[in-house]
Chain A
Amino acid sequence: MTLVESIDTARNALEMRGITKIYTVADDVVVALDHVDLTVASDEIVALVGPSGSGKTTLCSIAGGLLSPTDGSVVVAGKEISDYSGRQLTEFRRDSVGFVFQTVNLIPFLTARENLLVVDEIGRRLGRVARDRADQLLEELGLADRAANLPAQLSGGQKQRVAIGRALMNDPSLVLFDEPTSALDSNLGDQVVHLIRNEMKARGTAAIIVTHDDRITHYADRTVHIEDGRIAK
Protein backbone atom coordinates (compact mmCIF):
# COMPACT_ATOMS: atom_id res chain seq x y z
CA MET A 1 0.00 0.00 0.00
CA THR A 2 1.43 3.35 -0.98
CA LEU A 3 1.41 6.38 1.22
CA VAL A 4 -1.22 8.12 -0.91
CA GLU A 5 -3.49 5.12 -0.75
CA SER A 6 -3.24 4.86 3.00
CA ILE A 7 -4.11 8.53 3.44
CA ASP A 8 -7.06 7.93 1.14
CA THR A 9 -8.15 4.99 3.25
CA ALA A 10 -8.06 7.09 6.38
CA ARG A 11 -10.13 9.77 4.73
CA ASN A 12 -12.85 7.47 3.49
CA ALA A 13 -15.73 6.43 5.68
CA LEU A 14 -16.41 3.34 3.59
CA GLU A 15 -14.53 1.35 1.02
CA MET A 16 -16.16 -1.69 -0.47
CA ARG A 17 -14.21 -3.70 -3.00
CA GLY A 18 -15.51 -6.63 -4.97
CA ILE A 19 -18.36 -7.25 -2.55
CA THR A 20 -20.43 -10.25 -3.43
CA LYS A 21 -23.29 -11.52 -1.31
CA ILE A 22 -24.96 -14.78 -2.12
CA TYR A 23 -28.00 -15.99 -0.19
CA THR A 24 -28.71 -19.68 -0.34
CA VAL A 25 -32.21 -20.61 0.68
CA ALA A 26 -32.81 -24.34 0.29
CA ASP A 27 -31.64 -24.99 -3.30
CA ASP A 28 -32.17 -21.41 -4.37
CA VAL A 29 -29.12 -19.24 -4.86
CA VAL A 30 -29.72 -15.48 -4.87
CA VAL A 31 -26.87 -13.21 -5.83
CA ALA A 32 -27.92 -10.09 -3.90
CA LEU A 33 -24.68 -8.20 -4.56
CA ASP A 34 -22.39 -8.90 -7.47
CA HIS A 35 -18.86 -7.49 -7.23
CA VAL A 36 -19.87 -4.14 -5.82
CA ASP A 37 -17.25 -1.42 -5.44
CA LEU A 38 -18.31 1.63 -3.47
CA THR A 39 -16.35 4.34 -1.74
CA VAL A 40 -17.88 6.97 0.52
CA ALA A 41 -15.68 9.84 1.64
CA SER A 42 -15.55 10.77 5.28
CA ASP A 43 -18.11 13.56 5.11
CA GLU A 44 -20.02 12.48 2.05
CA ILE A 45 -23.77 11.82 1.81
CA VAL A 46 -24.56 9.17 -0.77
CA ALA A 47 -28.09 8.41 -1.95
CA LEU A 48 -28.50 4.76 -2.90
CA VAL A 49 -31.34 4.30 -5.36
CA GLY A 50 -32.63 1.18 -7.01
CA PRO A 51 -35.68 -0.98 -7.58
CA SER A 52 -37.03 -3.35 -5.01
CA GLY A 53 -34.84 -6.40 -4.57
CA SER A 54 -31.81 -4.74 -6.14
CA GLY A 55 -29.66 -5.24 -3.05
CA LYS A 56 -29.83 -1.87 -1.27
CA THR A 57 -30.62 -3.25 2.16
CA THR A 58 -28.05 -5.97 1.72
CA LEU A 59 -25.41 -3.39 0.85
CA CYS A 60 -26.25 -1.31 3.93
CA SER A 61 -26.24 -4.40 6.13
CA ILE A 62 -22.75 -5.32 4.95
CA ALA A 63 -21.44 -1.77 5.28
CA GLY A 64 -22.81 -1.63 8.83
CA GLY A 65 -21.50 -5.00 9.93
CA LEU A 66 -24.91 -6.65 10.21
CA LEU A 67 -24.00 -9.17 7.54
CA SER A 68 -20.71 -10.58 6.35
CA PRO A 69 -20.08 -10.59 2.60
CA THR A 70 -19.60 -13.83 0.74
CA ASP A 71 -16.58 -12.30 -0.93
CA GLY A 72 -14.74 -8.98 -1.07
CA SER A 73 -13.41 -6.46 1.43
CA VAL A 74 -15.17 -3.84 3.51
CA VAL A 75 -13.19 -1.11 5.21
CA VAL A 76 -15.10 1.25 7.48
CA ALA A 77 -13.18 4.22 8.92
CA GLY A 78 -9.93 2.39 8.27
CA LYS A 79 -11.08 -0.93 9.79
CA GLU A 80 -11.26 -4.02 7.62
CA ILE A 81 -14.41 -5.73 8.90
CA SER A 82 -15.11 -8.39 6.29
CA ASP A 83 -13.65 -11.17 8.36
CA TYR A 84 -14.66 -9.98 11.79
CA SER A 85 -16.18 -12.53 14.14
CA GLY A 86 -19.75 -12.09 15.38
CA ARG A 87 -18.50 -10.59 18.60
CA GLN A 88 -16.20 -8.16 16.82
CA LEU A 89 -19.04 -7.11 14.55
CA THR A 90 -21.25 -6.42 17.57
CA GLU A 91 -18.56 -4.20 19.02
CA PHE A 92 -18.05 -2.53 15.69
CA ARG A 93 -21.75 -1.73 15.33
CA ARG A 94 -21.82 -0.44 18.87
CA ASP A 95 -18.87 1.91 18.43
CA SER A 96 -18.53 2.88 14.78
CA VAL A 97 -21.81 2.96 12.85
CA GLY A 98 -25.32 4.26 13.23
CA PHE A 99 -28.50 2.74 11.78
CA VAL A 100 -31.84 4.26 10.99
CA PHE A 101 -34.31 1.60 9.93
CA GLN A 102 -37.19 1.77 7.56
CA THR A 103 -39.71 0.81 10.19
CA VAL A 104 -39.54 2.84 13.34
CA ASN A 105 -37.76 0.66 15.82
CA LEU A 106 -37.77 2.61 19.04
CA ILE A 107 -38.08 0.77 22.32
CA PRO A 108 -41.74 1.27 23.21
CA PHE A 109 -41.38 1.43 26.98
CA LEU A 110 -38.58 4.00 26.99
CA THR A 111 -38.94 7.75 26.63
CA ALA A 112 -37.32 9.57 23.74
CA ARG A 113 -34.34 10.49 25.88
CA GLU A 114 -33.99 6.96 27.25
CA ASN A 115 -34.11 5.57 23.72
CA LEU A 116 -30.99 7.60 23.01
CA LEU A 117 -29.33 6.56 26.25
CA VAL A 118 -29.79 2.86 25.48
CA VAL A 119 -26.82 3.24 23.16
CA ASP A 120 -24.70 4.26 26.13
CA GLU A 121 -26.09 1.54 28.34
CA ILE A 122 -25.20 -1.27 25.95
CA GLY A 123 -21.94 0.41 25.01
CA ARG A 124 -19.34 2.60 26.58
CA ARG A 125 -21.26 3.70 29.67
CA LEU A 126 -20.07 7.27 29.71
CA GLY A 127 -22.84 8.34 32.08
CA ARG A 128 -22.87 12.13 32.36
CA VAL A 129 -21.19 12.71 29.03
CA ALA A 130 -23.79 10.52 27.34
CA ARG A 131 -26.65 12.29 29.08
CA ASP A 132 -25.32 15.66 27.92
CA ARG A 133 -24.93 14.31 24.43
CA ALA A 134 -28.48 12.97 24.39
CA ASP A 135 -29.86 16.31 25.56
CA GLN A 136 -27.86 18.16 22.92
CA LEU A 137 -29.05 15.81 20.16
CA LEU A 138 -32.67 16.11 21.26
CA GLU A 139 -32.27 19.88 21.20
CA GLU A 140 -30.80 19.83 17.69
CA LEU A 141 -33.52 17.52 16.47
CA GLY A 142 -36.18 19.82 17.89
CA LEU A 143 -37.30 17.28 20.45
CA ALA A 144 -36.20 18.99 23.66
CA ASP A 145 -39.79 19.32 24.85
CA ARG A 146 -40.59 15.73 23.87
CA ALA A 147 -37.68 14.13 25.69
CA ALA A 148 -39.88 12.57 28.36
CA ASN A 149 -42.50 11.20 25.94
CA LEU A 150 -42.87 7.56 25.10
CA PRO A 151 -42.78 6.64 21.38
CA ALA A 152 -46.53 6.06 21.43
CA GLN A 153 -46.93 9.72 22.36
CA LEU A 154 -44.83 10.94 19.41
CA SER A 155 -45.77 11.59 15.79
CA GLY A 156 -44.23 9.56 12.99
CA GLY A 157 -41.77 12.31 12.13
CA GLN A 158 -40.81 12.79 15.75
CA LYS A 159 -40.20 9.06 16.13
CA GLN A 160 -37.95 9.02 13.10
CA ARG A 161 -36.06 11.99 14.53
CA VAL A 162 -35.54 10.10 17.77
CA ALA A 163 -34.20 7.21 15.70
CA ILE A 164 -31.78 9.61 14.00
CA GLY A 165 -30.67 10.83 17.42
CA ARG A 166 -30.10 7.25 18.52
CA ALA A 167 -27.98 6.58 15.41
CA LEU A 168 -25.79 9.56 16.26
CA MET A 169 -25.33 8.79 19.96
CA ASN A 170 -22.15 6.76 19.51
CA ASP A 171 -20.54 9.45 17.31
CA PRO A 172 -20.33 7.09 14.33
CA SER A 173 -18.09 7.45 11.31
CA LEU A 174 -20.85 6.22 9.03
CA VAL A 175 -24.63 6.36 9.35
CA LEU A 176 -26.83 4.04 7.29
CA PHE A 177 -30.38 5.14 6.56
CA ASP A 178 -32.58 2.44 5.04
CA GLU A 179 -35.58 4.23 3.53
CA PRO A 180 -35.87 6.65 6.45
CA THR A 181 -38.82 8.53 4.98
CA SER A 182 -40.91 5.76 3.45
CA ALA A 183 -43.27 5.71 6.42
CA LEU A 184 -43.74 9.50 6.35
CA ASP A 185 -45.83 11.75 4.16
CA SER A 186 -43.89 13.83 1.65
CA ASN A 187 -43.86 16.98 3.74
CA LEU A 188 -42.52 15.25 6.81
CA GLY A 189 -40.17 13.20 4.67
CA ASP A 190 -38.72 16.39 3.32
CA GLN A 191 -38.21 17.80 6.81
CA VAL A 192 -36.54 14.63 8.00
CA VAL A 193 -34.18 14.51 5.03
CA HIS A 194 -33.35 18.15 5.57
CA LEU A 195 -32.54 17.39 9.16
CA ILE A 196 -30.42 14.41 8.18
CA ARG A 197 -28.38 16.56 5.85
CA ASN A 198 -27.88 19.26 8.48
CA GLU A 199 -26.86 16.82 11.14
CA MET A 200 -24.44 14.98 8.87
CA LYS A 201 -22.85 18.12 7.55
CA ALA A 202 -22.57 19.75 10.98
CA ARG A 203 -20.67 16.71 12.23
CA GLY A 204 -18.82 15.87 9.07
CA THR A 205 -20.26 12.36 9.24
CA ALA A 206 -20.65 10.18 6.19
CA ALA A 207 -24.01 8.67 5.34
CA ILE A 208 -25.68 6.31 2.91
CA ILE A 209 -29.36 7.01 2.43
CA VAL A 210 -31.33 4.25 0.73
CA THR A 211 -34.41 5.54 -1.02
CA HIS A 212 -37.01 5.11 -3.69
CA ASP A 213 -37.77 8.75 -3.26
CA ASP A 214 -36.30 11.14 -5.85
CA ARG A 215 -36.72 14.15 -3.57
CA ILE A 216 -34.02 12.84 -1.33
CA THR A 217 -31.40 12.59 -3.98
CA HIS A 218 -30.86 16.32 -4.31
CA TYR A 219 -29.95 16.53 -0.62
CA ALA A 220 -27.21 13.99 -1.26
CA ASP A 221 -23.74 14.82 -2.51
CA ARG A 222 -23.90 11.94 -4.93
CA THR A 223 -26.45 9.42 -6.12
CA VAL A 224 -25.52 5.80 -6.73
CA HIS A 225 -27.83 3.54 -8.71
CA ILE A 226 -27.98 -0.14 -8.05
CA GLU A 227 -29.70 -2.79 -10.08
CA ASP A 228 -29.67 -6.55 -9.75
CA GLY A 229 -26.89 -6.30 -7.23
CA ARG A 230 -24.64 -4.26 -9.47
CA ILE A 231 -23.73 -0.58 -9.19
CA ALA A 232 -24.65 1.19 -12.41
CA LYS A 233 -21.73 3.06 -13.90
Chain B
Amino acid sequence: MTLALREMRRRPGRFAIATVILTLIAILLMFLGGLLDGLVASSTGAYRIQNGDLLVYSGNSRDALVRSRIEPAVRQQVESVPGVARVGGLGTAQLGGRVPGRGPRDLVPIVLFGYDLAPRGLPATPPPAGTVYADDSLRAKNVKVGTTMQLGPARSPVTILGFVSDSRYSGQGTVWGSLDTWRQVLNANRPDARVGPGVVQALVVQGDSRTSAGLAERIDRSTGGATASLTITQAIDALPGVSQQRTVFNQIIGVTVVIAIVVVALFFALLTVERTALYGVLKAIGASSRTLFVGVVLQAVVVALIASLIGIAAALVLDAVIPAGTIPFVATPARLASSAVVLVVAAVVGCAFSLRRVLRIDPAAAIGGTP
Protein backbone atom coordinates (compact mmCIF):
# COMPACT_ATOMS: atom_id res chain seq x y z
CA MET B 1 0.00 0.00 0.00
CA THR B 2 2.82 2.36 0.86
CA LEU B 3 4.24 1.29 -2.48
CA ALA B 4 1.16 2.63 -4.30
CA LEU B 5 1.17 5.91 -2.40
CA ARG B 6 4.90 6.32 -2.81
CA GLU B 7 4.55 5.89 -6.53
CA MET B 8 2.01 8.71 -6.56
CA ARG B 9 4.37 10.95 -4.62
CA ARG B 10 7.46 10.15 -6.68
CA ARG B 11 5.71 10.01 -10.05
CA PRO B 12 2.93 12.58 -9.77
CA GLY B 13 3.15 13.22 -13.51
CA ARG B 14 1.81 9.75 -14.20
CA PHE B 15 -1.44 10.57 -12.49
CA ALA B 16 -1.73 14.18 -13.63
CA ILE B 17 -3.90 13.56 -16.68
CA ALA B 18 -6.32 11.30 -14.85
CA THR B 19 -6.50 13.78 -11.98
CA VAL B 20 -7.17 16.71 -14.31
CA ILE B 21 -9.91 14.88 -16.22
CA LEU B 22 -11.50 13.59 -13.06
CA THR B 23 -11.33 17.07 -11.54
CA LEU B 24 -13.20 18.49 -14.52
CA ILE B 25 -15.77 15.73 -14.12
CA ALA B 26 -16.02 16.47 -10.39
CA ILE B 27 -16.63 20.16 -11.12
CA LEU B 28 -19.25 19.24 -13.70
CA LEU B 29 -20.95 16.84 -11.28
CA MET B 30 -21.06 19.39 -8.50
CA PHE B 31 -22.16 22.17 -10.82
CA LEU B 32 -25.00 20.07 -12.24
CA GLY B 33 -26.01 18.91 -8.77
CA GLY B 34 -25.89 22.45 -7.42
CA LEU B 35 -27.94 23.71 -10.34
CA LEU B 36 -30.54 21.01 -9.79
CA ASP B 37 -30.66 21.75 -6.07
CA GLY B 38 -30.94 25.46 -6.83
CA LEU B 39 -33.72 24.97 -9.35
CA VAL B 40 -35.65 22.62 -7.11
CA ALA B 41 -35.12 24.89 -4.10
CA SER B 42 -36.42 27.87 -6.01
CA SER B 43 -39.61 26.07 -6.95
CA THR B 44 -40.34 24.29 -3.70
CA GLY B 45 -39.36 26.65 -0.86
CA ALA B 46 -42.93 27.74 -0.19
CA TYR B 47 -43.93 24.11 0.44
CA ARG B 48 -40.83 23.16 2.37
CA ILE B 49 -41.38 25.89 4.97
CA GLN B 50 -44.94 24.70 5.68
CA ASN B 51 -45.52 23.61 9.24
CA GLY B 52 -47.55 20.56 8.43
CA ASP B 53 -47.59 16.92 7.43
CA LEU B 54 -50.13 17.05 4.64
CA LEU B 55 -51.27 19.38 1.94
CA VAL B 56 -54.94 19.03 1.08
CA TYR B 57 -56.13 20.06 -2.38
CA SER B 58 -59.63 19.83 -3.68
CA GLY B 59 -60.50 16.49 -5.19
CA ASN B 60 -60.87 17.81 -8.73
CA SER B 61 -57.64 19.82 -8.70
CA ARG B 62 -55.40 17.08 -10.12
CA ASP B 63 -52.96 18.02 -7.37
CA ALA B 64 -52.33 21.53 -8.68
CA LEU B 65 -52.65 24.52 -6.45
CA VAL B 66 -54.01 26.82 -9.17
CA ARG B 67 -56.95 24.55 -9.86
CA SER B 68 -57.70 23.86 -6.23
CA ARG B 69 -60.45 25.52 -4.13
CA ILE B 70 -61.49 24.47 -0.64
CA GLU B 71 -64.84 25.71 0.65
CA PRO B 72 -65.28 26.50 4.37
CA ALA B 73 -67.57 23.47 4.79
CA VAL B 74 -64.89 21.10 3.52
CA ARG B 75 -62.35 22.75 5.80
CA GLN B 76 -64.65 22.06 8.75
CA GLN B 77 -64.95 18.42 7.70
CA VAL B 78 -61.18 18.10 7.55
CA GLU B 79 -60.75 19.77 10.94
CA SER B 80 -63.05 17.20 12.53
CA VAL B 81 -61.21 14.13 11.19
CA PRO B 82 -59.69 12.22 14.13
CA GLY B 83 -55.92 12.56 14.12
CA VAL B 84 -55.95 16.06 12.67
CA ALA B 85 -54.36 18.46 15.15
CA ARG B 86 -54.28 21.75 13.28
CA VAL B 87 -55.45 22.99 9.92
CA GLY B 88 -54.34 26.10 8.07
CA GLY B 89 -55.53 27.64 4.83
CA LEU B 90 -53.30 28.55 1.95
CA GLY B 91 -53.98 30.80 -1.04
CA THR B 92 -51.79 32.02 -3.87
CA ALA B 93 -51.83 34.58 -6.64
CA GLN B 94 -49.13 34.95 -9.28
CA LEU B 95 -48.82 38.60 -10.21
CA GLY B 96 -46.41 41.13 -11.59
CA GLY B 97 -45.09 43.44 -8.89
CA ARG B 98 -44.10 47.07 -9.34
CA VAL B 99 -41.23 47.94 -7.05
CA PRO B 100 -40.32 51.60 -6.47
CA GLY B 101 -36.95 52.42 -7.98
CA ARG B 102 -37.42 50.05 -10.89
CA GLY B 103 -38.72 51.02 -14.30
CA PRO B 104 -42.50 51.17 -14.78
CA ARG B 105 -42.45 48.21 -17.17
CA ASP B 106 -39.91 46.26 -15.15
CA LEU B 107 -42.32 44.01 -13.30
CA VAL B 108 -41.01 41.58 -10.75
CA PRO B 109 -42.83 38.23 -10.90
CA ILE B 110 -44.31 37.70 -7.47
CA VAL B 111 -46.34 34.94 -5.86
CA LEU B 112 -48.53 36.26 -3.07
CA PHE B 113 -49.29 33.66 -0.42
CA GLY B 114 -52.06 34.01 2.16
CA TYR B 115 -51.73 31.82 5.24
CA ASP B 116 -53.22 31.34 8.67
CA LEU B 117 -51.06 28.50 10.01
CA ALA B 118 -47.65 30.11 10.14
CA PRO B 119 -44.92 28.52 7.98
CA ARG B 120 -41.41 28.42 9.48
CA GLY B 121 -39.88 31.87 9.72
CA LEU B 122 -43.19 33.76 9.65
CA PRO B 123 -45.08 35.25 12.61
CA ALA B 124 -47.82 33.04 14.10
CA THR B 125 -50.41 35.73 13.50
CA PRO B 126 -50.39 36.77 9.86
CA PRO B 127 -49.50 40.43 9.32
CA PRO B 128 -52.30 43.02 9.13
CA ALA B 129 -54.17 43.60 5.88
CA GLY B 130 -52.02 45.17 3.18
CA THR B 131 -48.74 44.10 4.75
CA VAL B 132 -46.54 41.12 3.89
CA TYR B 133 -43.23 39.40 4.53
CA ALA B 134 -41.08 38.96 1.46
CA ASP B 135 -38.75 36.20 0.37
CA ASP B 136 -35.04 36.95 0.74
CA SER B 137 -34.46 36.65 -3.00
CA LEU B 138 -36.51 39.81 -3.55
CA ARG B 139 -33.81 41.87 -1.84
CA ALA B 140 -31.90 41.59 -5.11
CA LYS B 141 -34.91 43.27 -6.78
CA ASN B 142 -34.60 46.36 -4.66
CA VAL B 143 -37.25 45.25 -2.17
CA LYS B 144 -36.56 46.52 1.36
CA VAL B 145 -38.36 46.67 4.67
CA GLY B 146 -40.91 49.45 4.33
CA THR B 147 -41.11 49.19 0.53
CA THR B 148 -44.66 49.33 -0.77
CA MET B 149 -45.03 47.39 -3.96
CA GLN B 150 -48.01 47.29 -6.24
CA LEU B 151 -49.32 43.92 -7.30
CA GLY B 152 -51.04 43.08 -10.56
CA PRO B 153 -53.02 45.22 -12.99
CA ALA B 154 -55.07 46.62 -10.10
CA ARG B 155 -51.86 47.81 -8.47
CA SER B 156 -52.91 46.49 -5.06
CA PRO B 157 -50.41 47.93 -2.62
CA VAL B 158 -48.62 45.69 -0.12
CA THR B 159 -45.99 46.94 2.31
CA ILE B 160 -43.01 44.80 3.29
CA LEU B 161 -42.65 44.23 7.05
CA GLY B 162 -39.70 41.87 6.91
CA PHE B 163 -38.11 38.94 5.15
CA VAL B 164 -38.33 35.15 5.20
CA SER B 165 -35.71 32.88 3.67
CA ASP B 166 -35.92 30.02 1.16
CA SER B 167 -39.61 30.40 0.45
CA ARG B 168 -39.66 30.73 -3.36
CA TYR B 169 -42.32 29.14 -5.50
CA SER B 170 -41.98 28.01 -9.15
CA GLY B 171 -38.78 29.97 -9.45
CA GLN B 172 -40.34 33.24 -8.30
CA GLY B 173 -40.06 35.38 -5.20
CA THR B 174 -42.94 35.20 -2.76
CA VAL B 175 -44.65 37.56 -0.37
CA TRP B 176 -46.61 36.27 2.61
CA GLY B 177 -49.68 37.88 4.13
CA SER B 178 -52.99 37.01 5.70
CA LEU B 179 -55.70 35.11 3.85
CA ASP B 180 -57.75 38.30 3.82
CA THR B 181 -54.95 40.19 2.08
CA TRP B 182 -54.73 37.36 -0.43
CA ARG B 183 -58.51 37.32 -1.15
CA GLN B 184 -58.54 41.09 -1.50
CA VAL B 185 -55.61 41.18 -3.94
CA LEU B 186 -56.87 38.16 -5.88
CA ASN B 187 -60.40 39.48 -6.25
CA ALA B 188 -59.13 42.90 -7.32
CA ASN B 189 -56.73 41.52 -9.95
CA ARG B 190 -58.32 38.30 -11.13
CA PRO B 191 -62.03 38.83 -11.51
CA ASP B 192 -62.25 35.44 -13.22
CA ALA B 193 -60.83 33.69 -10.15
CA ARG B 194 -62.69 35.52 -7.39
CA VAL B 195 -63.15 33.63 -4.16
CA GLY B 196 -65.78 34.09 -1.49
CA PRO B 197 -65.08 34.62 2.23
CA GLY B 198 -63.54 31.61 3.94
CA VAL B 199 -62.51 29.99 0.67
CA VAL B 200 -58.88 28.91 0.36
CA GLN B 201 -56.87 27.04 -2.26
CA ALA B 202 -55.41 24.35 -0.09
CA LEU B 203 -55.14 23.26 3.49
CA VAL B 204 -52.02 22.56 5.49
CA VAL B 205 -52.73 19.79 8.00
CA GLN B 206 -50.75 18.91 11.10
CA GLY B 207 -51.49 15.44 12.44
CA ASP B 208 -51.26 14.36 16.09
CA SER B 209 -47.89 12.96 16.85
CA ARG B 210 -48.61 9.29 16.24
CA THR B 211 -51.74 9.06 14.15
CA SER B 212 -50.27 10.41 10.93
CA ALA B 213 -50.17 6.99 9.24
CA GLY B 214 -53.14 6.74 6.92
CA LEU B 215 -54.29 10.24 7.80
CA ALA B 216 -54.41 11.34 4.17
CA GLU B 217 -56.76 8.47 3.27
CA ARG B 218 -58.94 9.16 6.31
CA ILE B 219 -59.30 12.81 5.36
CA ASP B 220 -60.18 12.06 1.75
CA ARG B 221 -62.67 9.40 2.83
CA SER B 222 -64.43 11.63 5.34
CA THR B 223 -64.82 14.43 2.79
CA GLY B 224 -66.24 11.94 0.34
CA GLY B 225 -63.60 12.63 -2.26
CA ALA B 226 -63.93 16.41 -2.10
CA THR B 227 -60.25 16.52 -1.14
CA ALA B 228 -56.98 15.04 -2.38
CA SER B 229 -54.42 14.87 0.44
CA LEU B 230 -50.71 14.57 -0.19
CA THR B 231 -47.72 14.53 2.08
CA ILE B 232 -45.58 17.64 1.70
CA THR B 233 -42.99 15.53 -0.14
CA GLN B 234 -45.60 14.20 -2.55
CA ALA B 235 -46.94 17.68 -3.06
CA ILE B 236 -43.42 18.93 -3.88
CA ASP B 237 -42.95 16.14 -6.42
CA ALA B 238 -46.31 17.02 -7.95
CA LEU B 239 -45.28 20.64 -8.46
CA PRO B 240 -45.09 21.45 -12.16
CA GLY B 241 -41.61 20.81 -13.52
CA VAL B 242 -39.98 19.58 -10.34
CA SER B 243 -39.86 15.87 -11.12
CA GLN B 244 -39.00 16.61 -14.76
CA GLN B 245 -36.09 18.76 -13.67
CA ARG B 246 -34.92 16.05 -11.33
CA THR B 247 -35.18 13.38 -14.00
CA VAL B 248 -33.36 15.38 -16.66
CA PHE B 249 -30.57 16.48 -14.35
CA ASN B 250 -30.15 13.06 -12.80
CA GLN B 251 -29.84 11.58 -16.27
CA ILE B 252 -27.10 14.06 -17.14
CA ILE B 253 -25.42 13.37 -13.81
CA GLY B 254 -25.71 9.64 -14.48
CA VAL B 255 -24.03 9.99 -17.87
CA THR B 256 -21.29 12.07 -16.25
CA VAL B 257 -20.69 9.33 -13.67
CA VAL B 258 -20.49 6.73 -16.44
CA ILE B 259 -17.90 8.90 -18.17
CA ALA B 260 -15.95 9.07 -14.89
CA ILE B 261 -16.03 5.27 -14.66
CA VAL B 262 -14.82 4.94 -18.25
CA VAL B 263 -12.02 7.45 -17.70
CA VAL B 264 -10.78 5.66 -14.59
CA ALA B 265 -11.16 2.26 -16.23
CA LEU B 266 -9.16 3.26 -19.31
CA PHE B 267 -6.53 5.10 -17.36
CA PHE B 268 -5.83 2.35 -14.85
CA ALA B 269 -6.02 -0.33 -17.53
CA LEU B 270 -3.24 1.52 -19.38
CA LEU B 271 -1.29 1.97 -16.17
CA THR B 272 -1.61 -1.74 -15.42
CA VAL B 273 -0.35 -2.66 -18.88
CA GLU B 274 2.62 -0.36 -18.32
CA ARG B 275 3.27 -2.04 -15.01
CA THR B 276 3.11 -5.64 -16.20
CA ALA B 277 6.83 -6.17 -15.70
CA LEU B 278 6.82 -4.45 -12.33
CA TYR B 279 3.87 -6.51 -11.13
CA GLY B 280 5.56 -9.66 -12.43
CA VAL B 281 8.61 -8.95 -10.29
CA LEU B 282 6.50 -8.11 -7.27
CA LYS B 283 4.53 -11.32 -7.68
CA ALA B 284 7.76 -13.27 -8.09
CA ILE B 285 9.03 -11.98 -4.77
CA GLY B 286 5.78 -12.90 -3.10
CA ALA B 287 3.25 -10.08 -3.51
CA SER B 288 -0.28 -11.41 -3.83
CA SER B 289 -2.61 -10.20 -6.57
CA ARG B 290 -4.75 -8.85 -3.78
CA THR B 291 -1.97 -6.61 -2.45
CA LEU B 292 -1.29 -5.30 -5.94
CA PHE B 293 -4.95 -4.68 -6.70
CA VAL B 294 -5.50 -2.92 -3.38
CA GLY B 295 -2.68 -0.61 -4.46
CA VAL B 296 -4.48 0.14 -7.74
CA VAL B 297 -7.74 0.85 -5.93
CA LEU B 298 -5.95 3.05 -3.43
CA GLN B 299 -4.45 5.12 -6.22
CA ALA B 300 -7.81 5.48 -7.92
CA VAL B 301 -9.41 6.55 -4.66
CA VAL B 302 -6.67 9.12 -4.02
CA VAL B 303 -7.10 10.54 -7.53
CA ALA B 304 -10.88 10.71 -7.02
CA LEU B 305 -10.48 12.36 -3.63
CA ILE B 306 -8.13 15.01 -4.97
CA ALA B 307 -10.53 15.64 -7.87
CA SER B 308 -13.46 15.86 -5.43
CA LEU B 309 -11.68 18.29 -3.14
CA ILE B 310 -10.87 20.60 -6.04
CA GLY B 311 -14.45 20.18 -7.27
CA ILE B 312 -15.81 21.12 -3.84
CA ALA B 313 -13.57 24.16 -3.67
CA ALA B 314 -14.67 25.22 -7.15
CA ALA B 315 -18.35 24.75 -6.26
CA LEU B 316 -17.94 26.86 -3.12
CA VAL B 317 -16.19 29.61 -5.06
CA LEU B 318 -18.93 29.49 -7.69
CA ASP B 319 -21.57 29.66 -5.00
CA ALA B 320 -19.88 32.73 -3.53
CA VAL B 321 -19.34 34.62 -6.79
CA ILE B 322 -22.66 33.98 -8.56
CA PRO B 323 -24.80 37.06 -7.88
CA ALA B 324 -28.06 36.26 -6.07
CA GLY B 325 -31.03 35.88 -8.38
CA THR B 326 -29.04 35.07 -11.54
CA ILE B 327 -28.15 31.38 -11.83
CA PRO B 328 -30.07 29.20 -9.39
CA PHE B 329 -26.96 27.45 -8.11
CA VAL B 330 -26.54 26.33 -4.51
CA ALA B 331 -23.63 24.39 -3.00
CA THR B 332 -25.10 22.31 -0.21
CA PRO B 333 -22.85 20.13 1.98
CA ALA B 334 -25.06 17.12 1.24
CA ARG B 335 -24.71 17.57 -2.54
CA LEU B 336 -20.95 18.16 -2.38
CA ALA B 337 -20.40 15.17 -0.08
CA SER B 338 -22.61 12.86 -2.14
CA SER B 339 -20.90 13.94 -5.38
CA ALA B 340 -17.53 13.14 -3.79
CA VAL B 341 -18.80 9.73 -2.66
CA VAL B 342 -20.23 9.02 -6.11
CA LEU B 343 -16.91 9.93 -7.71
CA VAL B 344 -14.91 7.73 -5.34
CA VAL B 345 -17.28 4.82 -5.97
CA ALA B 346 -16.99 5.44 -9.73
CA ALA B 347 -13.21 5.32 -9.36
CA VAL B 348 -13.34 2.00 -7.51
CA VAL B 349 -15.75 0.56 -10.08
CA GLY B 350 -13.57 1.89 -12.89
CA CYS B 351 -10.38 0.30 -11.67
CA ALA B 352 -12.19 -2.98 -11.06
CA PHE B 353 -11.83 -3.43 -14.82
CA SER B 354 -8.08 -3.83 -14.25
CA LEU B 355 -8.55 -6.64 -11.76
CA ARG B 356 -8.49 -9.42 -14.34
CA ARG B 357 -5.32 -8.02 -15.85
CA VAL B 358 -3.60 -7.91 -12.47
CA LEU B 359 -4.69 -11.46 -11.71
CA ARG B 360 -3.43 -12.71 -15.05
CA ILE B 361 0.11 -11.40 -14.71
CA ASP B 362 2.43 -14.40 -14.57
CA PRO B 363 5.27 -14.12 -12.06
CA ALA B 364 7.23 -16.74 -14.00
CA ALA B 365 7.55 -14.24 -16.82
CA ALA B 366 9.53 -11.97 -14.53
CA ILE B 367 12.50 -14.26 -14.33
CA GLY B 368 14.70 -13.72 -17.35
CA GLY B 369 15.27 -16.09 -20.22
CA THR B 370 11.79 -17.18 -21.23
CA PRO B 371 10.86 -16.23 -24.78
Contacts and interface: CB of A to CB of B under 8 A. Distances in A.
A17 to B, nearest CB: 21
Nearest to A87: B288
What secondary structure prevails in chain B residues at the interface with A?
A: helix
Given A109-B7, A109-B10, A99 B284 contact: yes
Q: Which of B283, B288, B364, B368 has the most CB of A within 10 A?
A: B368
Interface in B340-371: 363-364, 366-370
A180 to B, nearest CB: 10
Contacts of A123: 286
A57 B6 contact: no
Interface in B1-26: 1-3, 6-7, 10-11
Given A56-B369, A102-B369, A121 B286 contact: no
B301 interface: no
Given A57-B367, A99-B285, 5 more contacts: A66-B363, A93-B285, A93-B363, A109-B10, A110-B3
Contacts of A219: none
Interface string A82-105: 000001001111110011011101
Contacts of B367: 57, 60-61, 64, 66, 99, 101-102, 178
Interface of A: 56-57, 60-61, 64, 66-67, 87, 90-95, 98-99, 101-103, 105, 107, 109-110, 114, 118-119, 121-123, 166-167, 170, 178-179
Contacts of A60: 367
Contact of A101 (B3, B287, B366): B366
A118 B370 contact: no
Q: Can you list the 5 inter-chain pairs with the closest CB atoms, starting with the nearest?
A: A94-B286, A102-B368, A57-B369, A122-B287, A109-B10
A170 B286 contact: yes
Contacts of A56: 369
B369 A178 contact: yes
A122 B282 CA distance: 8
A101 B278 CA distance: 13
A121 B1 CA distance: 8
Given A61-B364, A121-B3, A90 B369 contact: no
B281 interface: yes
A107 B278 CA distance: 7
A90 B287 CA distance: 7
Nearest to B287: A122
Q: Which of A57, A91, A101, A179 has the most CB of B within 10 A?
A: A101
A223 to B, nearest CB: 19
13 contacts: A57-B368, A87-B288, A90-B288, A93-B363, A95-B286, A98-B285, A101-B366, A101-B367, A107-B278, A114-B6, A122-B3, A122-B286, A178-B367
B291 interface: yes
B314 interface: no
B277 interface: yes
Given A109-B6, A178-B368, A179-B368, A122 B285 contact: yes
Contacts of B281: 101, 105, 107
